[in-house]
Structure 1
Amino acid sequence: MDDTATPGWQGDIWLADDHCLLRSTLGRTDSHVHYAHQVLVGLGADVEVRLGERICSGPQVFIASRQPHAILSHGVPCLTVFAEPLAFDLADLALACKQAGNSAEQLAECLMHWPRRPLDPRLRKALERIRALDEQALPAQELASTAALSLSQLERLFSGSLKLSVRRLVLWQRLRMALQQALGGASLTEAALAAGFADSAHFTRSVRQQFGLSPGAALRRLRLRTFG
């Protein structure tokens, strides 16, 4: 995709540990798959998305975790929610969007205080360690020790509870860290290295795989907002 010809992704973004919210115009993306559930709420216009092989269009589109999809709308004002399945069900997100109406501020407040899904205490410990990532590698064995599990038990816990490998969740957290660094003013190279990517090319490839566009196209017109 030619990102220079892709309008959209201009607006505000709120980042939290387990979700993020955008109030922006949409831009087209290539087909991609990511861990988070995603909700698109058109502001005064329908949004159009390709889900697998079918086209979905309407005032709201719900995209389940790991569902291949591509955004077809461009220049449409929209609220976009990315939320981790370990914390939210899609039904939670639908209800939160209904309660907030079309207000990004109310939706941000609602999601911050929404009751999270209960987690196995061992999974919660592993997740806390992943949230504390820095630029250093996090060996799976270290993560298993943190949760007082064997490596095989850790992998079974992740695949059974989250339908996701340990490596994939660590990658998702590193992406979140790098995006936050870049939105805060760091260069893509600085953001990539601070989040533990080998280089900016590795970061760019990961963003394309997860979001269907380059980090430059996704970030250059978004303003980082704070909660409250």
Structure 2
Amino acid sequence: MTAWTGDVRMYPGLLAFTGRIGPADAHAHACLQLLVPTAGTVRLTGADGATRTVTGAAIIPAGVAHRVHADAGATGLAAYIEADSPAGRAATAKLRATGELTDVRTWLTAAGHTTPAPRPARHSAWNPVLDAAVRAAVAAPGGPPSLTALAAAVAISPDRLGRLFAGHMGLSYPVWRRWIRLQRAMGAARAGENLTRSAHLAGFADSAHLSRTVRSMFGITAGDALAATGWR
């Protein structure tokens, strides 16, 4: 089978792949997926066995089993979106308003009638305490600490810091922390570290913990995600 090969970019709440789209056996993931083929033929099979061709784009719901079929010349974009983000919640609402979440036709129709996602409520100015917290969390050895530890480091209550993250980042702190850990682990691996070392640097217990997290969120292993970018 033709492997997925291309470029992978990760940001808090989003992983975006662009390049050659390959087939994928039945799987599900905790993130929503926006699939936009730009060349070749890509088809999706839902849990009921029905298969449809993606003629424009598809929004695949979180937690719904599906298969991907792609010919050798298929290329495009696959964006994995945090289900609990504003964009993720808006996409899920659109899917539910369109039809059954397990029906491939719903995925195709919802993608063809998208509306801009609502912006998360934000304060008028970036909060200096949150800025300090983000800097401390990103720089922390072993990955971002717990909310309680981070709040203590910037002299603010955990509850207040949690509200600042939700208001400014559009993600709860635990969700943001998970994405930052993944970002750090992937960055370390692409810089030459093995998966075990990369996992430890990002705060995961071991490479198996890292791979389980990646598979849960994106439906693939950490090694598969890295291999798509040419990592060995």
Cα distance in structure 1, aligned partners of 2:83 and 2:195: 27
Identity %: 27
1:100 aligned residue:
none
In the alignment, what sits opposite 2:176? Answer: 169
Partner residue of 1:24 out of 16, 20, 37 = 20
Question: CA shift at 1:33, angstroms?
Answer: 0.2
Segments of 5+ residues of structure 2 without an aligned counterpart are: 92-118
1:81 aligned partner: 79
RCO higher in 1 or 2 (8 Å CA, sep ≥ 6)? 1
1:215 maps to which of 212, 216, 222: 222
Flag structure 1 segments of 5+ consecutive residues without an equivalent: 1-5, 94-115
Aligned mates of 2:165, 2:145 — CA distance in 1: 16
Query: What is residue 183 of structure 1 aligned with on the other side?
Result: 190
CA distance in 2, matches of 1:85, 1:148: 31
Kindly provide the amino acid, as one letter, of the partner of residue 13 in structure 1. Answer: V
Length-normalised TM-score, structure 2: 0.62
Pairing 1:40–2:35 present? yes
Partner of 1:10: 5
Give the secondary-structure state (helix, strand or coil) at the position aligned to 2:220. coil
Equivalence map 1:4-153=2 (5 Å):
7-15=2-10, 19-22=14-17, 23-28=19-24, 30-34=27-31, 38-44=33-39, 45-48=41-44, 50=46, 58=54, 59-63=56-60, 67-75=62-70, 76-82=74-80, 89=87, 119-120=122-123, 121-122=126-127, 124-125=130-131, 126-136=133-143, 138-145=145-152, 149-153=156-160
Aligned pair count reads 193
Q: CA RMSD in A?
A: 4.2
Structure 1 residue 192, shift from structure 2 partner: 0.8
Larger Rg: 2
